[in-house]
Amino acid sequence: MAGHAGTIRIVSTTPTKDAGPRHLAIYTGSFDPITLGHLDVLRRARSMFDEIVVAIGRNPEKAPLFEMEERAGMARDAIVADAIEGAAVRVETYEGLTVDFARRVGACAIIRGIRNSTDLANESQLAITNRKIAGIETVFIVSGEEYAYTSSSLIRQMAALGASIEQLATFVPPVVFDAIRSKQGDPAHPLGAFSRDPLVD
C-alpha cells in the first residue's frame, strides 16, 4: 500500500494554469538506487505534466541494495538538489500492481525512460498491456546519450564488486554516492563484507 506519511511535495516556482484539467503522471521504478539517468528523464518529464509522482515499487525478483524508505529518502534529496523548475513532484512508495497505484493517485499516464532499442521493445509490450487492462497510457522519454548505459542494476553490480567511489560518482547523485560509500565501509552490510572477503581479492 502507498505510504502517504512518508511523502514530500516539491513545489515548482513556475506558475500553474488556472483553467483546465490537471495532468498527473507517475514515474515508476525500483530506483534502487536513483541514478543521474533517472533524474535526466524526470527533468524532461517536468515540462510535460502538471504534477509527477515518483513511485518507488518493490521488485520481488531483485535483491534490494537499499530498503524502500532509504530509496525514497535519497530520491527526495536528489530531486530537491536538482533544483529544476517545472511540474510539482512528490515521492511515494507502493506495494502491488503499478496500475492499481496509478488509479489510486489519479494518474493519466505512466512515465518510462528509454535508453535503447531493447528497452523500447520490452516497455512497448508492457505499455500495451497497461492500456488494455487499465486504460492508462505510457509516455516514453528517451534519456540523454550520456546515460544510455546507466541503470540501477549496473550500480548495484559495481558496488557489490567493490567499484571505487570515484567510478560510481559518474553515475549517481551525491546523496547516493554517500550512501553507497557508507555501506561499503560497514562490515555488517553485504557490500562491506564482500569488499573484505579474501576469496575475491
Does the active-site annotation cover 90?
no
Sign of CA dihedral 43, 49, 55, 61: negative
152 is catalytic: yes
Helix, strand counts (H, E) of the chain? 8, 6
46 is annotated as an active-site residue: no
Spatial distance between the Cα atoms of 181 and 128, rounded to a whole number of angstroms: 40
Q: Which member of 38, 71, 76, 156 is catalytic?
A: 38
Q: Please identify which of the residues 71, 90, 112, 115 carries the catalytic annotation.
A: 115
Active-site residue among 152, 156, 183, 195?
152
Place of cell 512508495: 93
User: Where are the extended beta strands (E) located within the chain?
Assistant: 9-10, 24-29, 51-57, 88-94, 109-114, 137-142
* Residue in 4, 9, 62, 103 annotated catalytic: 62
Please name the amino acid found at residue 79: I
* 53 CB-side CA count, 13 A: 26
Active site residue 189: no
What is the 8-class DSSP label of residue 15?
P
Q: Would you name the residues annotated as active-site residues?
A: 38, 62, 115, 152
